[in-house]
Amino acid sequence: MTTPSAGRGDDTRRRSPQWPLLLLLLVLCYAVAAVGGLAAADAGDVYASLERPAWAPPSWLFGPVWTVLYATIAVSAWLALRRQEFARVRAAALAWSAQLLFNLLWTPLFFGAGRYGLALLDICLLLAALAATMVLFRRRSRGAFLLLVPYALWVLYASALNLALWLLNP
């Protein structure tokens, strides 16, 4: 006969605390934001100096949007990856990591190096990795998938803007 406390002890061993994972994911996402911020130190001036399409957003909008999106990117990964053995979520974790890497590379390419064409290639790879992440996360958590929808829409918009800026500023 097992006692109720013995049963709870077994459950506790099976379920590790999930908050450290969330904290790690948030730190990773905001580290990417910080690196992007360093690479885009003069981004406002660069962006203002570019010929922009009429539908381009004001430069002040990017900071607030990305602040929210990085949180949703981290929480989405947390929802999809928590309580799972790594072997079961390896592909999803790799896709998520790839999209975050492409995200990290875009700002230095666009603002730091002024390589608008290369930045466009990077953002297309980001979209592909993000699409794969969304498909894999959807299998694990509907919430994880839904949290990535605004990010995907923003990256699609940013891709179109990147293309327009590349064409307008050869």
18-168: CATH topology is Ferritin (1.20.1260)
Structure tokens at 60: 């002040």
Whether the CB-CB separation of 126 and 103 falls below 8 Å is answered with yes
Whether the CB-CB separation of 79 and 141 falls below 8 Å is answered with yes
Whether the CB-CB separation of 148 and 100 falls below 8 Å is answered with no
Structure tokens at 30: 């905001």
pLDDT tier for residue 31 given thresholds of 50, 70 and 90: very high
pLDDT at 12: 43
Q: How far is Cα 25 from Cα 77, in angstroms, rounded to an integer?
A: 7
Of 94, 78, 91, whose CA–CA distance to 24 is shortest?
A: 78
End-to-end CA distance of the chain: 77
Where along the chain do its domains lie? 18-168
Degrees (nearest 5) of the Cα angle 104, 50, 100?
10
Is 50 exceeded by the pLDDT of residue 107? Answer: yes
pLDDT tier for residue 37 given thresholds of 50, 70 and 90: confident
Whether the CB-CB separation of 76 and 144 falls below 8 Å is answered with yes
Whether the CB-CB separation of 130 and 148 falls below 8 Å is answered with yes
Quote the pTM value: 0.85
Whether the CB-CB separation of 77 and 136 falls below 8 Å is answered with no
Cβ within 8 Å of residue 23, ≥6 positions away:
none
pLDDT tier for residue 159 given thresholds of 50, 70 and 90: very high
- Least confident segment among 53-57, 74-78, 88-92, 158-162: 88-92
pLDDT tier for residue 15 given thresholds of 50, 70 and 90: low
Residue written as token pair 């450290």: 20
- Least confident segment among 4-18, 35-49, 57-71, 107-121: 4-18
Please give the average per-residue pLDDT across 124-152, as a whole number. 97
Calculate what percentage of the chain has a pLDDT beyond 70.
Answer: 88
Is 60 exceeded by the pLDDT of residue 170? Answer: yes
Range picked from 13-27, 60-74, 76-90 for highest mean pLDDT? 60-74
Q: What Rg do the C-alpha atoms of the chain give, in angstroms?
A: 19
Please give the average per-residue pLDDT across 119-124, as a whole number. 98
Which H/E stretch holds residue 123? helix 116-140
pLDDT tier for residue 8 given thresholds of 50, 70 and 90: very low
pLDDT at 17: 63
